[in-house]
Amino acid sequence: MATSLESLLETRDWILADGATGTNLFNMGLEAGEAPELWNETAPEKVRALYDGAIGGGSDLFLTNSFGGNASRLKLHDAQDRVFELNRLAAVIGREAADAAGRPVVVAGAMGPTGDIMAPLGPLTVEAAADMFEDQARGLLAGGADVLWVETISAPEELEAAALGIARTGAPWCCTMSFDTAGRTMMGLTSAGMARLVEGFAHRPLAFGANCGVGASDLLRTVLGFAEAEPTLPLIAKGNAGIPKFVDGHIHYDGTPDLMAEYAVMARDCGARIVGGCCGTMPEHLVAMRAALETRPGGPAPDIETITGKLGGLSSASDGLTGEAPARAPRRRRRG
C-alpha cells in the first residue's frame, strides 16, 4: 500500500529522507556521462540496491532514480521519447522496495531541472517546461510514487513551471532549490524569495526547502533564512556530506557519519521537518543521522557560530538576503 507523506507529517516531529543518488550509483559502476535513468531498465537490481540502502540506513522517504528523467535531459541520450516508461520503471522499483520494508516508507518521484535556460534569458518557456514536468510526473505516478519531489532548481520560473505541470496531475509534491551562489540560487533567488514563491502557488507543495548547494553549513544558513520568513509549510533540508575534494581521480566528500549526525540534529533545530542528505551521503551517514535524531532532544535553533564550529566554515560571508544579487551564470548540473 502507498504511504502518505501527509500522514507522516501529521504524526511525526521529523522525517528522515535519503542520501545521494549519483554518488551511490557511481560506486556501483555508473560511468561519467551515462544516464542513470537508463539503469531503471538495464540494471534494475542496482537501482533496487540504491533504494534498499536508503531504507536500510533508516530513511522514511527516498527519491527515485529519475532526477534527469525529463525530455530535455534524456534527449542527450536519444531517449526523449521514453520519458513515461523510464520514470514509471524508477517508481515501480521504488514501490517494490518500499512495500517490502516492513514499515511506512514514502516513495518520492525525483524530478530535477531541465538543464535548459528559462525565458527570457533562454529559449525554454514556462508552458513548455510545464509540459515536460507533467509528462515526467505522470510516469512516476503510474509506477506508484507517493509524492513528487522537484529538486536542485535554480530559476524561479522553472519552479513555477514544475508547479504548473504537477498541478495538472493533482498529485502531492515537495520542492527544493539549490542555494550555491553567495546565499542565493544560481539565478539569484534568496531563501526569503523562495518562501514567498511557494506560498503563492495555486497547487502548493506539502513542504519546501533546500538541497545540494555547497556544504552543510551553507545549507543550514539557508534553512534559517526560510524559518525567519515564517512560512506556513514544513521545511526540508538535504545537505551534502561535507565539501567535495578530488582524491585519486575521484570526487570524495569529506563529511563523516558523525558530522552528518550533527548536521541532522541542527537541521531539525533550525526548523526542518524533513531532513536528509545529498551528494556524498551514504547509508552509513543515514544510520548515524537517524540515531542522532532519535536520541538527542530538540533544542533552540543554533546560531551561525555554532553551525560553523561543528560543521565547518561558510563558502561566503553573504546569506543572500542583503546586498546585490550575484551575477547569473547558468550551468548544467546533476545531483550527486
pTM to 2 decimal places: 0.94
Long-range contacts of 38-45 (CB under 8 A, 24+ apart): 38/77, 38/79, 38/86, 39/65, 40/65, 40/66, 40/86, 40/89, 40/90, 40/93, 41/85, 41/86, 41/89, 44/89, 44/93
User: Tell me, what's the pLDDT at 110?
Assistant: 98
User: Tell me, what's the pLDDT at 322?
Assistant: 72
Cis peptide before 205 (omega within 30 of 0): no
Q: Is there a domain that residue 17 lies in?
A: yes
The domain tally of the chain equals 1
Q: Is there a domain that residue 333 lies in?
A: no
CATH number at residue 84: 3.20.20.330
Would you give the DSSP letter of residue 77? G
Q: Is there a domain that residue 142 lies in?
A: yes
User: Tell me, what's the pLDDT at 2?
Assistant: 67
Low-confidence ranges of the chain (pLDDT < 50): 324-334
Q: Is there a domain that residue 318 lies in?
A: no
Q: Is there a domain that residue 286 lies in?
A: yes
Its domain, for residue 250, covers 5-311
- The C-alpha atoms of residue 87 and residue 100 are separated, in whole angstroms, by 20
User: Tell me, what's the pLDDT at 324?
Assistant: 45
User: Tell me, what's the pLDDT at 242?
Assistant: 82
User: Tell me, what's the pLDDT at 244?
Assistant: 72
User: Tell me, what's the pLDDT at 334?
Assistant: 45
Q: In angstroms, what CA-CA distances link 153 with 46, 253, 262, 304, 308?
A: 26, 22, 26, 25, 25
Q: Is there a domain that residue 251 lies in?
A: yes
Q: Is there a domain that residue 256 lies in?
A: yes
Q: Is there a domain that residue 172 lies in?
A: yes
